[in-house]
Amino acid sequence: MVEHGVVTILAVAAVAFTAPLFADLTLCLLGNLLPVRGARTAGKKAIRLAVVVPAHNEEQMIARTVASVRAADASIFIFVVAHNCEDDTANAAAKAGAQVVELNDPQQRGKGAALRSGFQAAIDAGANALLVIDADTVVSANLFAATCEALESGARATQCRYEMEPPNTESVSRIARLRALAVRGFNVLRPRGRAGLGFSTGVFGNGFALTVETLRRVPFSVDSIAEDIEYHLRLVCAGVRVHWIEEAFVHANLSPAGSVQAKQQARWEGGRIGVARRSTGQLLVANLRGNWRAAEALADVWSIPLARGIVILLLAALLPAPWVRAYAIGCAAVTLAYVLGSALLGAEPMRDLAALAVAPIYLARKAAITPLVLLNSRRRAEWARTEREAPKP
């Protein structure tokens, strides 16, 4: 009897931990079967878009980013915020053609502080819409036109496709390809599905845009490690929907594997847990007041990473409980559809699917950083630059 009770508790715990994830994935997969819902209003408004690039010790990357923006639209204003830099980021950005805002204040250590400074500089220069680009990013040639079109059509906030920069096809490792595939699922397939169902797509910290009117309604007063997630939840609670831009993209560099990548992932996952803990009450209140998009946002923010969900399902499938095995099989089917869908959204789906051969290594690495994730869930915001390879000339 005692053994049966323990099995039941473990099975229920497995379902409780994984249900938000697989419910949200199921919704997003269904949404991908529907056309993306765009913004539509009776009259268009003029948009004066400016680009804001927060940069912390990005001397090696910033010139390429500014050049990418200028190549897409030479007339657009670019504000690079050199935030507590110890290198030559400011001069490199200025030489590349950006307007530089220097923020040197040890008390303001998060990315949110850099964005607030950049936003204010752009607004003072006459912008009425702001597009955030990370300092290690290249953009598609149509990004600004597509963003302006969406904002002119009534969107108050937008997010474009955000993926890891395509690696060299011949030399990329399977682990790196698998990591890029995981990012595509989270940053492309899931928001596309939300857009198809009319939910808010999310803010991913790179490639998102806001009107100044939205910024005044929902100030960017977030300073957590996961400031993009926290701000998106505030937008949802305020009734602001982030619209998806399917046809444009930003690409960022994939961080090196090993301890650097593990620390970056732990910071992000830990920050997400902290945001979920702080935002749950607000989302529940918003949902009770009739804000139906808040329910999906709540499921999303409490979704554990897919890799951890798979590990829990594998362990749950070992329990002598037929009903939890059936649940695990159903979630496995959802996972298969999700991975296949994410691969098909890329340029080389067969190579991406072949990378699944190293999935056990990937899962083991994710499990190994769990203590670090929990530690980061309670840390204050601090902008730690992720080491990356400098772009080749």
Mean pLDDT of the chain: 88
Secondary element (H or E) of residue 163? strand 157-164
3-state secondary structure of 206: coil
- Between CA 44 and CA 48, with CA 46 as vertex, the angle to 5 degrees is 145
In this structure, is the dihedral angle defined by the CA atoms of residues 256, 223, 78 and 84, taken in order, positive or negative?
negative
pLDDT digits (tens, 9 = 90+) for 327-380: 999 999 999 999 999 999 998 999 999 999 999 988 888 877 777 766 765 655
Q: Helices in the chain by DSSP H: which ranges?
A: 2-31, 62-72, 89-96, 111-124, 143-152, 174-184, 190-197, 212-217, 227-237, 259-288, 293-301, 306-316, 322-344, 349-354, 359-368, 370-376
* 0.85 exceeded by pTM: yes
Q: Which tokens belong to 306?
A: 């897919």
- In terms of Cα–Cα distance, which of 110, 56, 119, 85 is closest to 225? 110
pLDDT in tens, 84-141: 999 899 999 999 999 999 988 877 778 899 999 999 999 999 999 999 999 999 999 9
